[in-house]
Amino acid sequence: MAQGTVTIFGGSGFIGRYIVERLADQGWTIRVAVRRPQRAQFLKPLGNVGQIVPIPCDLNSSAAIRSALEGVDAAINLVGIMQESGSQNFSNLQSQGARLIAETAAELGIGAFVQMSAIGASEESGSEYARTKAAGEEAVRKALPDAVILRPSVVFGPEDDFFNRFAVMARLSPFLPLIGGGHTRFQPVYVGDVADAAVFTLQEPKCYGKFYELGGPRIYSFRELMELMLKAIRRKRLLVPVPFGMASIMGSVAQLLPFAPITADQVELLKSDNVVSDNALTLESLGIEKHSAEVIIPTYLDRYRPGGRFNPN
């Protein structure tokens, strides 16, 4: 596809900033549709003057969504949350929001569309996060059969909410919990690789209508990921197995906090492995080289080391 104008819903988030930068480098004009445009101003220097424009968009408003999509050539929906807060709930954002965006894009004749979902999205999951991700996928495909669906495993990178979260905990606590014993398997994928997949599939008609599961070069248990993180920050901490039942109780209490370390819904997610399925289309299918967690995470977790990143010891 020739470069044109693209709307990126949720473009100021963790994955969005990397997609915005790549599309700007390729010459796209980018509308970043977010709740609070003032918080997306940091994206503007990633492009030329006027190339990246944050705009207000409430996913509960059909009029706002239509305004964000009118006159564009392509769209990407990255909206998603890991914890509910007030009106920001799983159903509104990940299911109904995705449906409204896709239906409006279809009405306006926008054929190039990428929906960011997640490995584990399933209507049968015990996690509402996973169920609403699945509902969002279904709604998008119903409105736009040629939409690309991307399902990454845990995404890591400098701004991630996985390794950074546990590194903060390790700096404050003498132990870290291993939910369910730490046996859940993950295939963490680098944010830059996910962004490359989104940019490529948006512009390649051969990818339209397909699902891609995005995972890194290696599968780890949750325990192994905690050990990898602790090695990167040069700290020793006791890893304590916590049964799922007890973890659910802890999550039910913790989720009342504004920035909960764990929620009951996240505990449900941890009951299922988060790895690429057999025979799935993957990063390799797109010709994208995977980046290893062992190589990348020490470059940004070093700030959690004793004495900070500039401590030579």
Q: Which helix (H) or strand (E) holds 252?
A: helix 244-254
CB atoms within 10 A of CB 38: 8
In a domain, 50, yes or no: yes
Q: CATH number for the domain including 208?
A: 3.40.50.720
In a domain, 14, yes or no: yes
Per residue in 262-271, is it b (16+ CB within 10 Å) or e — as a string? Answer: bbbbbbbbbb
What pLDDT is recorded for position 258?
Answer: 67
User: Rounded distance, CA 110 to CA 118, Å?
Assistant: 23
244-287 tens-digit pLDDT:
999 999 888 877 776 777 889 999 999 999 999 999 999 999 99
301 close to 229: Cβ distance less than 8 angstroms: yes
| Mean pLDDT, residues 145-160 | 98
165-175 tens-digit pLDDT:
999 999 999 99
Per the prediction, the chain carries an average pLDDT of 94
Query: In this structure, what token pair is assigned to residue 287?
Result: 């010709």
In a domain, 178, yes or no: no
182-232 tens-digit pLDDT:
999 999 999 999 999 999 999 999 999 999 999 999 999 999 999 999 999
pLDDT tier for residue 312 given thresholds of 50, 70 and 90: low
Contacts of 34 by beta carbon, 8 Å cutoff, 6+ apart: 9, 10, 11, 12, 40, 54, 55, 56, 57
CA-based max dimension of the chain: 59
Number of domains present in the structure of the chain: 1
In a domain, 80, yes or no: yes
User: Rounded distance, CA 26 to CA 199, Å?
Assistant: 10
In a domain, 40, yes or no: yes
95-126 tens-digit pLDDT:
999 999 999 999 999 999 999 999 999 999 99
pLDDT over 90 (residue 178): yes
In a domain, 184, yes or no: no
* Residue 75 lies in domain: 5-153+189-214+276-286
Give whole-number Cα distances, 136 to 14, 79, 219, 257, 279, in Å: 20, 10, 27, 27, 23
User: Rounded distance, CA 60 to CA 48, Å?
Assistant: 31
In a domain, 100, yes or no: yes
pTM over cut 0.75: yes
User: Rounded distance, CA 191 to CA 197, Å?
Assistant: 10
In a domain, 297, yes or no: no
288 close to 200: Cβ distance less than 8 angstroms: yes
CA neighbor of 201 nearest in space, from 140, 135, 275, 147: 147
